[in-house]
Amino acid sequence: MENLKKQHKYFCLTTGDIKPVVSFIKMMACIILALLYAAKGYSQDAETDSLLQIVAKGKDDSLKVNALISLTVSNYQSSPGKALEYANKAKDLAIKLNFKSGEAYAYKWLGIIENYQGNYYEALVHSNTSLNIFKTLGDKAGTSNLLNNLGAFYADKDENSRAVQYYLQALDLAKQSGNKLRIASTLGNIGVIYSKNPATNDTALAYYLKALPYAQDIQDSESIGIIYTNIGEVYAVKKDYNKAYNYYNKAVQTLGNSASTAYTYNDIGKLYKQQQAYDSADVYFDKAYTIAQQNNSPVDVMQALIGKGQLQMALNKNKEAIVLFNKALDIGKPIQSTPELKGIYEGLSAAYKKMNDYEHAFLFQSLLNNLYNTVNERKLNFNTATLEYAMELQKQSGKIAMLMKENEMQELDLKNEKFARNVSLAALGVLLIVTIMLLLNINQRKKLNRLLSIQKRQIEIQKTNVEKALMELKATQSQLIHSEKMASLGELTAGIAHEIQNPLNFVNNFSELNKELIDELKNELLLDNKQEALLIADDIRANEQKIMHHGKRADSIVKGMLQHSQASSGKKELTDINALIDESLRLSYHGLRAKDKALNATIHTSFDAGVGKINIIPQDISRVMLNLFNNAFYAVNEKKRQLNGTYEPKVSVHTKKENHSITITVKDNGNGIPQNITDKIFQPFFTTKPAGQGTGLGLSLSYDIIKAHGGEIKVESTEGEGTKFIIYVPFV
């Protein structure tokens, strides 16, 4: 039975009967927890033992298929690998028995598990196979269920238009069958899509209000309560706090002590915190924590702890906040709930930063960056799988059309043969000839069947080879992306080390000098030389001021590096572009020198003071500049090694203000780029570096970043003389 999970708004469909399910940022959290609650009905030891007995000793019939599907559901959370094994056995047995309904449900669960494990192509294949079987059976409930699941897959990856298309198809079928709970679920799902954007909150509210009467007609308190919560969230975003509290309270009264109540209490706590009513907020976070613990709802427990941690930070109790965030992290790591991990890493980084513990702040900021990268890679992989599946369908459609044409030709041939046979039968003398023709026709059909069988096997072999090649390609892509990340991290670390070394040296030197001056001061005081003692004291004070100055300089560098390493928020801000380029240049040079002391180059900068601050995403532009500088220093260093010291490496960077844009030029006098590959350098995974030294992603990512800013990046190169990259960035 379908259950409702509470995290801002998705209605997720899992098994045949539906309950609305809500999700916050990721649809996957909804699917995981919906299945977790569904699994409770199957997880009792006695029932599990009974199911295992049926599978082990029962005969091969529909009862065993249903038992295998039930075991799939009960093992989905605790052991997805075992669940996948049960689902495959259910599918194979259902096919053997020609039990179409069981086959459809087995394929459906295979799709859900593969999607959860990130195997998106397989998830789409299995889900669409299940959908087609339900359609063939005329099972409107099953078809609507699968359409909702497919909508959930796309909504999870922010493919909102595709998601709404599936939801609308599901809604049409639900209305045809008169299933009010399924209608409420689907209307709620569409409302969720619109609630993602504050600009379409009124549309989301309209869908929730349409869903509410259907849930009330069947008196499903869980569904009603969750819809009330969703409506409250819409009013909270609109800052209509009275209506928000009103709907939250309706939800609490309707839900009682169910797990969904914990989510609603968390919502109320967040709203009180937003209004700086911290005592009230703390009370509701505690209520949410207690009910979530009672209902074994780990995500709601994490949300309550995150809320309490953020509350402690608002009260400047950072140590207490860190304890709460770490407690939430211990719960979150095993279930890998992305939205909650995001809140935990953000909270820990901010709390440590407030305590001036920049090492831990940097650590959790890095974990947050990796989390963003993982989410983006999942979306990219899903889009790739969608295209692969569409391409495979197109190929199969072409093959089917060819086979249909061949069948038409065969039918035409058969008609002609029949006509000839009828004419021949008119004369008894040609009966023997007609018999021979029939025998030849039968033999030809046998040959054709053998040929079709061979072609079918060849197609299966080709499909296996293509799938294997695709898996190898994906593995290689993941390795390359990992290599690029690790290389960037190493260079950044080396740059930070060099930048911070100078102020630390000053601090150490002046500290040693003060030790000696203090010893001299003691001696002068013992000799009662007050005047000399005062002079020494003045020197100590001056040195302490220098220590403070250089300590603040080190603090400034660490804060700057921490900001530099943050994941891109995607928001543009006014940035001193000259300062950003100069910082990137120093980081690149000192980072590479930390790895290769032989690297030396003459650096020339020419910054147009008229450029000032421009509206950009600083982290993204900084990555572009780091990549260009790294390439330039690599090029001149390679040329220096080839010429054995008879060459002076030079790297220059210039900025210039134009009419409506600024021009950034990075130039080196390295070996240059051959003319025949200049057009390829911005292609993903193309590199001129030796194997193992470059991933080929740097310039491709740089090109995408500049295009996203509405700008342009060009390259001019003469082989043997050097390379010049020119970037145009608009002021807008």
Q: How far apart are CA 223 and CA 548, in angstroms?
A: 61
pLDDT in tens, 12-28: 444 333 233 333 333 33
CB neighbours of residue 450 within 10 Å: 10
Cα separation, 15 vs 76, whole angstroms: 13
Q: Is-contact 153 27, C-beta < 8 A?
A: yes
The mean of the pLDDT values for the chain is 79
Contacts of 198 (CB under 8 A, 6+ apart): 237
Q: Which of 658, 619, 651 is nearest to 633 (CA)?
A: 651
Q: How confident is the model at residue 5 (pLDDT cuts 50, 70, 90)?
A: very low
Tell me how many degrees the CA angle 52-53-55 measures, rounded to the nearest 5: 65
The one-character DSSP state at 224 is: H
State the average pLDDT over residues 76-94. 84
Angle between helices 62-75 and 100-116 (to 10 degrees): 20
- Residue 166: exposure state from Cβ atoms within 10 A (0-12, 13-18, ≥19): buried
pLDDT for res 665: 97
Model pLDDT for residues 432-477, shown as the tens digit of each residue: 676 677 777 677 767 666 766 676 666 676 667 656 656 655 555 5
Average pLDDT over residues 246-264: 93
What DSSP string describes 88-149?
A: HHHHHHHHHHT-HHHHHHHHHHHHHHHHHTT-HHHHHHHHHHHHHHHHHHT-HHHHHHHHHH
pLDDT band of 585, cuts 50, 70, 90: very high
Residue partners of 199: CB distance under 8 A and separation at least 6: none
What the block records as the tokens of 285 is 């976070």
The type of residue at 61 is: D
3-state secondary structure 471-485: HHHHHHHHHHHHHHH
Contacts of 478 (CB under 8 A, 6+ apart): 377
In this predicted model, what pLDDT tens digit does every residue of 44-76 receive, in sequence order?
Answer: 467 778 888 888 888 889 998 999 999 988 776
Ranges of beta strands (E only) in 602-683 are 602-606, 613-616, 650-657, 661-668
Q: Which of 381, 379, 377, 350 is nearest to 363 (CA)?
A: 350
Strand partners, 614: 575
According to the model, what pLDDT value does residue 513 have? 80
User: How far is Cα 401 from Cα 413, in angstroms, rounded to an integer?
Assistant: 18
Q: Give per-residue pLDDT as tens, 88-124.
A: 999 999 999 999 999 999 999 998 888 877 787 888 8
pTM for the whole thing?
A: 0.49
Smallest CA-to-CA distance from 473 within 121, 102, 16, 85 is with: 121
User: For residue 667, how many other CB atoms are within 10 A of its CB?
Assistant: 19
The pairing of beta strand 712-718 with beta strand 573-576: unpaired
pLDDT beyond 70 at 384: no
Question: Which residue(s) pair with 725 in the sheet?
Answer: 666, 715
For residue 265, the surrounding DSSP H or E stretch is helix 259-274
Q: Domain 574-730 has what CATH class?
A: alpha beta
Q: Dihedral sign, CA of 394, 399, 404, 409?
A: positive
| Interatomic CA distance for residues 391 and 421, integer angstroms | 45
Residue keyed to tokens 């249909």: 404
| Cα–Cα distance measured from residue 271 to residue 599, given in angstroms and rounded to the nearest whole number | 56
Instruction: Scan for tokens 């869980």, then name that residue.
Output: 222
Q: And the tokens for 68?
A: 């295998």
Structure token digits, residue 418: 């029949």
Q: What is the pLDDT of residues 637-659, one digit of tens each?
A: 988 888 877 789 999 999 999 88
Domain borders along the chain are 574-730
What is d(CA 581, CA 587) in angstroms, rounded to the nearest whole number?
10
